Structure 1
């Protein structure tokens, strides 16, 4: 059973589709469900995560600097297949404990993004594990925690809005030293790839399906595709800015602002036009 503090977070997380208030309002959190090493029963724990690209996220078994590994870590050592709930997306993942140089690189990125991890390591003699959670692919559409197709598209859009807002805040607060941190680069590139994949899915699957069902909507989809092209160009500009080690961080911040303005307008228009069409049969 989760402790009372964790249960309050879990309840709020589930009630608000991953959004939290207070101290965790700007944190990247997920719900990790592991299988008990001794009991074989499921246990759900809220944990912080770091984007790692390619359908993978990293979680850190800090236990607040305790000398004892957290229960969820010992569980996944025994049963590496775990459940992941982002509040919007739910999926199964394979847990892999990183070691050697891969662990050190991931740890350095984590500490660069949040010095609190280093503070936890100083409190204990155990080497704090870094665990990669690799999504296990499955056929069909993603499992989205929504009650209707219209709600699903809005929730997915909100994921992009929230992540972009987090990236903007990280760029403002963390690039004063004249460089972009390694983890911030990963966050940006993960966001860019996710947005590209989302728009590709809309262009090839959703838009043709809705256009066939709703004659007369061609101008809407023509505009949305044109906006996808403009956003793709802005995403590429951002990718170049964050992968150029010699670039001024101000350039990357400017590209994020340009992308934010275009994307916000696009998402709003898309929701206004598509949600009524998506929910028309419900």
Structure 2
């Protein structure tokens, strides 16, 4: 069973689609469910994560700098298939412990973004492991933690809003150069937006067009906005890849402003249609 403290975090996380307040406000956390190495019992723990682009995220077995590895880490060594809850999506994943060289590179990136990881390492003699969680492919769309298709749109949109807010904050508090982890965060966001809009264009929009004749002008406007967002995403990608800090900051601001207007219009138009359908 989780401690009372962890259970409060888990309950708040699930109730608010990954949004937390207090000391964890703005933190990147996920819920990781592992299978007990000895008991076979399922255990859920809130864990800090690091975006890593592509098909994986990284979790760090810090245990607050404890001399012992956390239970969830020992569990996944025996049972590497785990369940991940992001607050928006729930999916099965395969856990792979990074070897020392790759671990050191990943941990350095994490420390660059959040010096608290270094403080945990300084408290213990053990080398804090870094674990990659690879999403396991499944048939059909992923499971979204929402009660209806309309709510699912809002939940996914809020995920992008939160990530942009975090990236803007990291850029404002960072130095004169883009850190390696911040570059990964930006590129992960770019890929996520591309995937989301591709899914809407290929699946959601045809579904709504078949059920509502009045959706056609809305679809046309949203298609134009998707093209515009794709242009802004590409500009951000170029600035980040080139390490152009000032340009990247400006592109994040531009993307935030135009994306927020797009998300608001999309919610206004799509949620009633989805709820009716």
Shorter-chain TM-score: what band?
over 0.9
Describe the SS at the equivalent of 1:279: helix
CA deviation string 1:6-30 (max 9, x = no partner): 0110111111111111111100110
Question: What does residue 189 of structure 2 align with?
Answer: 191
Question: What does residue 206 of structure 1 align with?
Answer: 204
CA deviation string 1:221-243 (max 9, x = no partner): 00000000000000000000001
* Matches of 1:201 and 1:238, distance apart in 2: 21
Describe the SS at the equivalent of 2:276: coil
TM-score (norm 1): 0.97
* Matches of 1:63 and 1:15, distance apart in 2: 24
* Matches of 1:100 and 1:10, distance apart in 2: 31
* Matches of 2:253 and 2:126, distance apart in 1: 42
Count of aligned pairs between the two proteins: 277
TM-score (norm 2): 0.99
Q: Which runs of 4+ in 1 moved over 6 A?
A: none
Question: What does residue 240 of structure 1 align with?
Answer: 238
The offset of 1:209, in angstroms, is 1.3
* Matches of 2:215 and 2:192, distance apart in 1: 26
Structure 2: give runs of 5+ residues left out of the alignment: none
Question: What does residue 253 of structure 1 align with?
Answer: 249
Question: What does residue 116 of structure 1 align with?
Answer: 116
1:159-174 aligned within 5 A: 159-174=159-174
1:61-76 aligned within 5 A: 61-76=61-76
Root-mean-square deviation over aligned CA pairs: 0.8
The offset of 1:139, in angstroms, is 0.8
Question: What does residue 30 of structure 1 align with?
Answer: 30
CA deviation string 1:94-115 (max 9, x = no partner): 0000013211110110111111
* Matches of 1:270 and 1:59, distance apart in 2: 33
CA deviation string 1:152-204 (max 9, x = no partner): 01100110011011101000011x2x210100000000000000010011111
Structure 1: give runs of 5+ residues left out of the alignment: none
Question: What does residue 133 of structure 1 align with?
Answer: 133
2:267 aligned with 1:271 = yes
Describe the SS at the equivalent of 1:266: helix
* Matches of 1:14 and 1:119, distance apart in 2: 29
